[in-house]
Amino acid sequence: MLKFFIKRILEVIPTLLIVTVFIFLFVHMIPGDAARLVAGEDATLEDIKLVEKELGLDRPLHEQYISYMGGLLKGDLGTSLKTRRPVSEEIGARFMPTFWLTVWSMVWAVMIGLIIGVVSATKRNKWPDYVGMFAAVSGLSLPSFWLGLVLIQIFAVQLGWFPSGGMESWKSYILPSITLGTGVAAVVARFTRSSLMDVLKNDYIRTGRAKGVNEQNIVWHHALRNALVPVVTMTGLQFGFLLGGSVVIETVFSWPGLGKLLIDSVAFRDYPVIQAEMLIFALEFIIINLVVDLLYGILNPQIRYD
Amino acid sequence: MKKAYVRFGLLLVLIFSLVACSGGEEGEKEVKKVDKTNKDVTIAVSATLTGMDPHDTNDTLSNSVQKTMIEGLVGFDEEMNVIPVLAESYESNEEATEFTFKLREGIEFHDGTPFNAEAVKVNFERVANPENGLKRQSLYGLIDTIEIISDYEVKFTLSEPFGAMLNTFAHPAGGIQSPKALEEFGKDVARHPVGTGPFKFVDWRPSEYLEVEKNGNYWKEGYPKVDKVTFKPVTENGSRVAMLQTGEADFIYPVPTEQVEALQGKDGIVVDSEPSIVVQYASLNTMKEPFNNPKVREALNLAVNKEAFIKVVLNGEADVLDSIIAPNVQYYEKQTPYGFDVEKAKELLKEAGYESGFKTTVWGGNSSTAVKAMEFLQQQLAQINVELEVLPMESGTLSDRIWSVENPADAEVGIYYGGWSPSTGDADWGIRPLIGGEAAFPPNSYNVSYYSNDKVNAGIAAALETANSDDRAAAYKIVQQEAWNDAPWIFLATTRTLAGKRDYIEGAYLLPDNSLSITEIEIKE
């Protein structure tokens, strides 16, 4: 198993290298002249040329790539065109807010999603199932910006229980994490339900029931554990997506996270920041995939890594 | 356990139905009572700040925050008139090549460095030097020499006459920073602003807040009247409004036009709506058919109901545009509006040979307001059989397809919907970049109607060659008449500045250029 992981980690290096080339080319191919956008809406051509030179955007693309890679190997992500602060600082300041919001959203979403899923699967086609799945479909269909604004209106403006935005205390996490987690909870519930229903049809479950194992024990210990494999894969992917930062939620709740930074940077053609964010997203997915692989082994010891 | 499921299910249903039912209440504006006990103010703004170095900033929002800490020789009052700030008085020669400022004495920067002629010289030499690569270089690039006459008197000599120079000095980019800080931090002054202003810099986390505190040593007796001001970027309109409702913010701007009515007059909240200097127009490419025909341009102006435009697109928070510049811009001269006359417009199109109309495209930004505006034009022009295709574009695409076009003959643009805010408040910056003849064609500047009229060009040049306001006014009068009659644009509206505040806030207001002034902000008991 250790060998497997070392191999997987070594594989990351060429993957990342290819990723950098693609990211660099892709980012520089978006239409729009960065110097013009940086120089501002009423800049004169003089200003624009000055900015272009100052930012090194007048050099040929391959030269720009070489200096970008040179910096990257030394751990230097470059300097933001917009704020002229080091990219590592820009991103560093925003990573943790996104990370913690993601973690809290995932924690409650997975808990609630699992419960709904299990209840629905065991009470199939009875009213708890209908209610659960109605809730799940609603959760999936609600546009998150709408849900966010409605939550602000009820819990911040009318009831005054939570702040309407920003990141100040634990209270600031409640509304955005509910908004962010609703969709995930819904997906987890549906996955758990269908996966658990499949597992419950298996012979070993019937055997268990035949020998008189109590139903709670069958569902929660024997069936659920096996049913979780696809749920874990999906949860891992969701986690990866959320870690990229949700533009909508971060905008609605003025959350100082990565998603908003990315959108701002794209609008501004802030190449170094876009590149660094994409690189981090790629890295996050690689790491999450590793972790998911590891979890498979724990859930189902029959899965081997050779 | 079973009962637990049931209870849980019920709870969920309850939550979802609560959420679902409350949707209709969004329009109702609930306002929390706020008891203000401290002297701290929170201001929610619409975008992330980009930097605190006025020489290297080009967004009005960052400029506004800078102005709380960094002041210029001169500045603007509530109506964009130039007023003395760090200079006590100023004069210029008739040819507009020499500008002399007498400075206020006994002022210190926040770091204790004395403010004097030397500090002024250091600042303007910094911004004007192209080698420093600062974004506002072009505003001050024509400063030739800066002469220190005495400790408190300084003379600028320009390389060529520039009648609008005083307004350029009043622009936020002319802010004077501590020479010591400039030397110590270099380009990093953008994160360590040190000026002479009413507030001192405390802390800045770009995505969260920027905090300033009272400068106890401020030169204007009795100010500032609050202890601390926190600026918070809140990009989502609904969230910004909610912060004012909950009292998390004491002052917000801009208030989205569609929320003004719901907020105005609510207990404890005041919305200030004042004329801005921002003009909204649809430019017509006068080098291309059919817009090269003056009759067509006049017909298009007649076919659009401007009052309806303001009501539908800007929720009434605007005024009909009646010159090429807004009334608060210096040397504005009111023209006779085109009015709304579909029959006459049809007649003119017929005379121009377009009896059965024509097909064309309008380009513009992709904000919801821009799209709404273009769709409105589409609907209006349909009345005279002009079929308008609406093409919203993202800023990078606009830049490629409009602003970077090298050869005017290659310009594909027909109609472009946009706006302009002349940040120096002078007619020159409101007129020259937009209709200043060939010199202003893209990519050099923003004359996207490719309009060139010898009388206009001559007037623009004449107004820059003198500092005499009567002569300048006379020149701009002709320029405005000519441009109005030639109609290189469909003239639409001048927008309003919209600030929302708690009723205990006084002395904070938006200038017509949408910049904020809080020098005199106070919390009323």
The C-alpha atoms of residue B514 and residue B59 are separated, in whole angstroms, by 10
ipTM for the assembly: 0.72
The reply to whether B177 and B307 lie within a common domain is no
**Can you give the pLDDT at residue B24?**
38
**Which of B133, B236, B245 comes nearest A252 by C-beta?**
B236
- For chain B, which residues score pLDDT lower than 70? 1-33
DSSP for B331-344? T----------HHH
Cα distances (angstroms) measured from residue A192 to each of A119, A215, B515: 10, 17, 54
Half-sphere exposure of A208 (CA within 13 A, CB side): 18
- Would A304 be classed as within a structural domain? no
- Would B174 be classed as within a structural domain? yes
**Which of B13, B404, B444 comes nearest A33 by C-beta?**
B404
Taking the Cβ of residue B26 and every Cβ of chain A, the question of whether any pair is shorter than 8 Å is answered with yes
**Which of A32, A160, A264 comes nearest B48 by C-beta?**
A264
**B18-70: per-residue pLDDT in tens?**
444 444 334 445 666 677 778 899 999 998 888 999 999 888 899 999 999 99
Is B49:B210 a contact under the CB 8 Å cutoff?
A: yes
The C-alpha atoms of residue A291 and residue A232 are separated, in whole angstroms, by 10
Residue of B nearest to A154 (CA): B22
**Can you give the pLDDT at residue B21?**
43
Which parts of B167-291 are beta strand (E)? 199-205, 209-214, 228-233, 251-252, 269-284
Expressed as residue numbers, the domain containing A225 is: 93-299
Four-CA torsion A268, B169, B420, B471, nearest 10 degrees = -160
The reply to whether A161 and A13 lie within a common domain is no
- Would B234 be classed as within a structural domain? no
- Of the pLDDT bands very low, low, confident and very high (cuts 50, 70, 90), residue A47 is confident
- Would B16 be classed as within a structural domain? no
- Of the pLDDT bands very low, low, confident and very high (cuts 50, 70, 90), residue A23 is confident
Q: Residue B492: what are its φ and ψ, rounded to 5°?
A: -115, -75
- Would A205 be classed as within a structural domain? yes
**Can you give the pLDDT at residue A304?**
60
The reply to whether A14 and A134 lie within a common domain is no
Expressed as residue numbers, the domain containing B100 is: 70-184
- Would B199 be classed as within a structural domain? no
pTM: 0.82
**Can you give the pLDDT at residue A293?**
77
The reply to whether A169 and A129 lie within a common domain is yes
The reply to whether A24 and A53 lie within a common domain is yes
Q: Is the pLDDT of residue A160 over 80?
A: yes
The tokens describing B212, both together, are: 């300033």
**Which of A40, A131, A160 comes nearest B59 by C-beta?**
A40
B260 Cβ contact partners less than 8 Å away, ≥ 6 residues apart = B271, B273, B315, B317, B498
The reply to whether B302 and B163 lie within a common domain is no
Task: Give the residue from B222, B193, B225 showing the smallest Cα distance to B210.
Answer: B193
Do residue B135 and residue A116 have CB atoms under 8 angstroms apart?
no
Burial class (CB in 10 A: 0-12, 13-18, 19+), B524: exposed
- Would A306 be classed as within a structural domain? no
Length of chain B: 525
Q: Which amino acid is at B67?
A: K
Residues of B whose CB is below 8 A from A82:
50
The alpha-carbon gap from A295 to the nearest alpha carbon of chain B, in Å, equals: 28
The reply to whether A9 and A97 lie within a common domain is no
Do residue A39 and residue B135 have CB atoms under 8 angstroms apart?
yes
- Would A202 be classed as within a structural domain? yes
Is A245:A260 a contact under the CB 8 Å cutoff?
A: yes
- Would A252 be classed as within a structural domain? yes
B132 Cβ contact partners less than 8 Å away, ≥ 6 residues apart = B55, B126
The tokens describing B305, both together, are: 């109901």
Per-residue 3-state assignment (H helix, E strand, C coil) for B424-466: CCCHHHHHHHHHCCHHHCCCCCCCCCCCCCHHHHHHHHHHHCC
Q: Which amino acid is at B60?
A: T
**Can you give the pLDDT at residue B30?**
60
- Would B195 be classed as within a structural domain? no
Residues of B whose CB is below 8 A from A115:
5, 8
Query: Of B184, B213, B236, which residue sits at a domain end?
Result: B184
**Can you give the pLDDT at residue B19?**
44
B232 Cβ contact partners less than 8 Å away, ≥ 6 residues apart = A166, A254, B42, B43, B44, B45, B208, B209, B243, B249
Strands B489-502 vs B269-284: parallel, antiparallel or unpaired: antiparallel
Based on the structure, what is the number of domains in chain A? 2
| CB atoms near residue B149 (< 10 Å) | 12
The C-alpha atoms of residue B362 and residue A72 are separated, in whole angstroms, by 43
Task: Give the residue from B33, B473, B430, B435 showing the smallest Cα distance to B246.
Answer: B33
Element at B502 (helix H, strand E): strand B489-502
Share the mean pLDDT of chain A: 82
The C-alpha atoms of residue B377 and residue B362 are separated, in whole angstroms, by 9
**Can you give the pLDDT at residue B177?**
96
* Residue that wins the pLDDT comparison between A238 and B193: B193
Question: Which residues 42-101 of A are in CB contact (within 8 Å) with B?
Answer: 42-48, 50-51, 53-54, 82-85, 90, 93-94
Is B82:B174 a contact under the CB 8 Å cutoff?
A: no
* Residue that wins the pLDDT comparison between A222 and B13: A222
Based on the structure, what is the number of domains in chain B? 2
Is A138:A111 a contact under the CB 8 Å cutoff?
A: no
| Dihedral (CA of B408, B411, B414, B416) sign | negative
Is B417:B363 a contact under the CB 8 Å cutoff?
A: yes
The tokens describing B329, both together, are: 């811009």
- Would B176 be classed as within a structural domain? yes
Query: Of A73, A103, A118, which residue sits at a domain end?
Result: A73
- Would A87 be classed as within a structural domain? no
What is the DSSP code (8-state) at residue B497?
Answer: E
Query: Of B184, B203, B230, which residue sits at a domain end?
Result: B184
Query: Of A14, A39, A73, which residue sits at a domain end?
Result: A73
**Can you give the pLDDT at residue A51?**
81
The C-alpha atoms of residue B246 and residue B233 are separated, in whole angstroms, by 16
Query: Any alpha helices (H) in chain A, and if so which ranges?
Result: 2-29, 34-39, 45-54, 61-73, 87-122, 127-141, 144-151, 171-200, 203-210, 215-217, 224-243, 247-252, 258-268, 271-299
**Can you give the pLDDT at residue B382?**
95
Taking the Cβ of residue A137 and every Cβ of chain B, the question of whether any pair is shorter than 8 Å is answered with no
The reply to whether A48 and A124 lie within a common domain is no
Cα distances (angstroms) measured from residue B137 to each of A66, A238, A255, B394, B486: 30, 47, 34, 27, 33
Is B168:B54 a contact under the CB 8 Å cutoff?
A: no
**Can you give the pLDDT at residue A296?**
75
Do residue B58 and residue A41 have CB atoms under 8 angstroms apart?
yes
The tokens describing B242, both together, are: 């909610």
Do residue B246 and residue A157 have CB atoms under 8 angstroms apart?
yes
The C-alpha atoms of residue A257 and residue B516 are separated, in whole angstroms, by 27
The C-alpha atoms of residue B508 and residue A242 are separated, in whole angstroms, by 40
A25 Cβ contact partners less than 8 Å away, ≥ 6 residues apart = none
Return the CATH number at B374.
Answer: 3.10.105.10
Residue in this structure with the two tokens 């918070």, named with its chain if needed: B232
Return the CATH number at A137.
Answer: 1.10.3720.10
Return the CATH number at B101.
Answer: 3.90.76.10
For A248, the 3-state DSSP assignment is: helix
For B128, the 3-state DSSP assignment is: helix
Half-sphere exposure of B292 (CA within 13 A, CB side): 3
The alpha-carbon gap from A241 to the nearest alpha carbon of chain B, in Å, equals: 21
Element at B92 (helix H, strand E): strand B87-92
The C-alpha atoms of residue A69 and residue A77 are separated, in whole angstroms, by 9
For B150, the 3-state DSSP assignment is: strand
The reply to whether A148 and A278 lie within a common domain is yes
Query: Of B184, B209, B232, which residue sits at a domain end?
Result: B184
Do residue B58 and residue A40 have CB atoms under 8 angstroms apart?
yes
- Would B197 be classed as within a structural domain? no
